[in-house]
Amino acid sequence: MPAGAAGDIVSGADYVSQITALESDRRARATFQSLVLSLAPPGGALFDFGAGPGIDARFYAERGFSVAAYDVDPQMCEYFAAHCRGLMEAGRIRLERGSYRDFLARSSVAGGRDVDLVTANFAPLNLVDDLRGLFAAFHALAAPNGKVLASVLSPYFIGDLKYGWWWRNVLRLWRDGHYSVPGSQGPIVRRRLADFAAQSEPYFSLQRVFPGLPPTPPRHSRGRDATGRCAWLSTTRCLFMFLLFEKLAQGGRAARR
């Protein structure tokens, strides 16, 4: 369950219990983690945005990556610190805390290393209204050839057609490229692929889209060209879609050399 989809705000141990209860969520997490392993250079630097309780950050660090992570929720951060204590003490994981506004003002993460891959699993980007400001922050953190891999809610998921809110907003989706519905942590914004692409520029370019389930057949593991006219069709059977963005050399801030 993505943050903000539950009726009540949950964090820490309760959130872990919910996020690991469903087989579909476990498969989505495993698929996202596998993509990270295929995209990040061995021993590379990762930044886990919206890291929650630290499940992914621990997974990455245990496989040899240097991990910096950020979450705005103090209770999530407390659980994260306990869950990843040994790896944090060993210097394999660094946890960034503070307000979202403070995060946007940062130009580096603890340790000062440029990030090879920014990850954002289980839809934290759907809780952000101004994605352009967030991608500007990612641009400042990323290495010149850095990438962003984000798990987001698919607005094309056929399983949502049973809900009245989907039908009330479908025209807005095609007309405006996005719409929002109330959530426990604030509005949940669903966006078309074209809107994600527009919001990421001039800092990143949306390159590929992956369905949020294990690829079948395996040749689909490279995803679809996000600029293709029918790229969205691959996400209709999945609650989540995974988006791969590549850093642009020209942006609001010059790429670091």
217 is a domain residue: yes
Q: Three-class SS of residue 113?
A: coil
Would you say residue 155 lies in a domain?
A: yes
Q: Which tens digits make up the pLDDT trace of 30-75?
A: 999 999 999 999 999 999 999 999 999 999 999 999 999 999 999 9
**Domains held by the chain: number:** 1
Q: Is residue 257 part of a domain?
A: no
Q: Which residues of the chain have pLDDT under 50?
A: 1-8, 219, 252-257
- Owning domain of residue 158: 13-247
Q: From CA 47, how far away is CA 174, in angstroms rounded?
A: 32
Q: What is the structure's pLDDT at 229?
A: 81
Task: With respect to residue 4, please indicate whether it lies within any of the assigned structural domains.
Answer: no
CATH number, domain containing residue 40: 3.40.50.150
Do 135 and 198 touch, CB atoms closer than 8 A?
Answer: no
How many CA atoms within 13 Å lie on the side-chain side of 2?
A: 26
Alpha carbons 117 and 94: distance in angstroms, whole number: 15
Cα–Cα distance between 232 and 168 in angstroms, integer? Answer: 20
**223 occurs within a structural domain:** yes
Task: Give residue 85's identity as a one-letter amino acid code.
Answer: R
Residue 254 confidence (pLDDT): 39
Query: What is the C-alpha to C-alpha distance for residues 171 and 194, in angstroms, rounded to an integer?
Result: 15
Per-residue H/E/C for 121-184: CCCHHHHCCCHHHHHHHHHHHEEEEEEEEEEEECCCCHHHHHCHHHHHHHHHHHHHCEEEECCC
pLDDT of residue 19: 81
Q: What is the pLDDT of residue 218?
A: 53
Domain-embedded: residue 216: yes
Q: Which residues pair with 242 in a beta bridge?
A: 151, 210
Q: How many Cβ atoms from other residues are within 10 Å of residue 224's Cβ?
A: 19
Q: Examine residue 5 and state whether it is found in any structural domain, yes or no.
A: no
Q: How far apart are CA 183 and CA 126, in angstroms?
A: 11
pTM of the model: 0.90
Count the neighbouring beta carbons within 10 Å of the beta carbon of residue 38. 10
pLDDT value at position 11?
67
Residue 2 lies in a domain: no
